[in-house]
Structure 1
Amino acid sequence: MSPERLNERLRKTLSRGRVAETRPAGCPDIPLYLFDPAVLEGPLSHDEAQAVVAEPAYWSFCWASGQVLAQWILEHPDIVRGKVVLDFGTGSGVVAVAAALAGAARVIACDLDPAALDAAAANAELNGVVLEFFEDWNRRPEDIDLVTAADVLYDPENRPLLEVFRAAAPEVLLADSRVRNLGNDRYEKQAVIEARTWPDLNEFEEFNRVRIYRVKAGG
């Protein structure tokens, strides 16, 4: 998957958009193709701003929770080693790539957005790892050992995903910066780590504080 394919995807949202290889500060060992802020030499036009709001290219940024979860996996490889891992809402694919680098037996990147799957494929190739890709969560394999997810609870209507994940696999590893209290005792807080979206979107400071949660097998 070439970066030019990602540029084509990005230009559907932002006509002057392009990606560039970069290393997010929160997980510097994983290079990624992400939005190149150098193209924004001036403010967005009205039409550009409307396009970005209507069809945001989430996959072209590495969000704080994704960076933190990816780095956590690299520092705790025993969590994924030898396991079948499904990364839900994979976006840029950073968490899926980290799981593969850390020794997972099989890593599945799942995202509704075909452009995100293209990004995950390009970033997997950039890091020399192999991923599988699924657009439909409901058609996922049945032998999943671990579900990973980062920043998927931004909408209150997504809260039921907590139990959906638990039903899908014996273990869950979740990172979130939007919800202070999950309201689910099965999810044990592992750490709170500071990070910023890359490239930086100057979000509220509260969204730079990432909480990692884990549901262990039998929990």
Structure 2
Amino acid sequence: MRDGRREGLTSDLPADGDAGPKRRRAFILAHTRLLTPPHVPEIRLHLADEATELWERTEEELQEIGLPPPFWAFAWAGGQALARYILDRPELVAGKRVLDFASGSGLVAIAAAKAGAATVVATEIDAFAIDAIALNAAENAVTVEVRHADVLAAPPSDADLLLAGDVFYEKPMSEAVIAWLDTAYRAGANVLIGDPGRSYLPRDRLQALADYRVEVTRALEDSEIKHTTVWRLAAPGA
């Protein structure tokens, strides 16, 4: 460590964590590189080359100033499966208003835009994710509206299609998410979910649409290949 920082890590983030967009984007560009997710080679994203290294840097550097771990820097299995499903079936999104919940890197939102959605909104509570999504959308020459907000605290979206990848890993979060998605579903929205079998996946409300074997990094998951399913939210007991 040198001057309170991991040696070799450059960061101009202010000590209070109030990083502006230029500083956040500089950090993203400095600690990621353009890669294609294994299951979605049509899309290029700014991703962490070494998951463990960036995670350690985030915990030791960024977390000290109150910032969350860099979920935006990885192409998670559920998102890869959902993006693949959409790109292979563009009729699902063509001309539709799409919302990608907890978008992370923006992978699923970008896939929806590429598949011909009329509008795409990507929501996130992490300011770094918001800037990563903007960078990734520009890299793929698509238009995605990025919304920095906790949408679970707001009325349900009026989107035609709601997308959610890898969101059922924590019980309180999962309960809030399924309640919010259910409200949108009851209002007429189609809801698709990508998930590799997270602990709190509400299987009793879901219909399986497609299965994939998605390559991931063992630094993030418990195996290098995750059996991942795309689900549709359905009525209780359907």
Bin of the TM-score, shorter chain as denominator length: 0.7 to 0.9
Structure 1 partner of 2:229:
211
Determine the C-alpha separation between the residues in 1 that align with 2:52 and 2:209. Answer: 38
The SS at the match of 1:188 is: strand
Q: Measured at CA, do residues 139 and 93 of structure 1 come closer, stay the same or move farther in structure 2, by a change above 3 Å?
A: same
Spell out the pairing of 1:59-208 with structure 2 (5 A cutoff): 59-136=72-149, 137=151, 138-139=153-154, 142-160=157-175, 161-169=177-185, 170-179=189-198, 182-197=201-216, 201=219, 203-205=221-223, 208=226
| Structure 2, gaps ≥5 residues long | 1-20
Spell out the pairing of 1:44-63 with structure 2 (5 A cutoff): 50-51=60-61, 55-63=68-76
Determine the C-alpha separation between the residues in 2 that align with 1:151 and 1:173. Answer: 11
Q: Which amino acid aligns with 2:135?
A: A
Offset, 1:210: 1.1
The SS at the match of 1:195 is: strand
Spell out the pairing of 1:20-31 with structure 2 (5 A cutoff): 20-31=33-44
Q: Which amino acid aligns with 2:161?
A: L
Offset, 1:216: 6.4
Q: Measured at CA, do residues 90 and 115 of structure 1 come closer, stay the same or move farther in structure 2, by a change above 3 Å?
A: same
Greater Rg by CA? 2
The SS at the match of 2:86 is: helix
CA RMSD of aligned residues (A): 3.1
Aligned length: 205
What TM-score do you get using the length of structure 2 for normalisation?
0.74
Structure 2 partner of 1:13:
none
The SS at the match of 2:125 is: coil
Offset, 1:206: 8.8
Q: Measured at CA, do residues 164 and 133 of structure 1 come closer, stay the same or move farther in structure 2, by a change above 3 Å?
A: same
Determine the C-alpha separation between the residues in 2 that align with 1:172 and 1:201. Answer: 30
Q: Percent identity?
A: 35
Q: Which amino acid aligns with 1:210?
A: T
- Does structure 1 retain, via aligned residues, the 8 Å contact 2:58–2:69? no
- Does structure 1 retain, via aligned residues, the 8 Å contact 2:174–2:200? no
- Does structure 1 retain, via aligned residues, the 8 Å contact 2:105–2:133? yes
The SS at the match of 1:159 is: helix
Structure 1 partner of 2:17:
none
Q: Measured at CA, do residues 143 and 75 of structure 1 come closer, stay the same or move farther in structure 2, by a change above 3 Å?
A: same
Offset, 1:134: 1.4
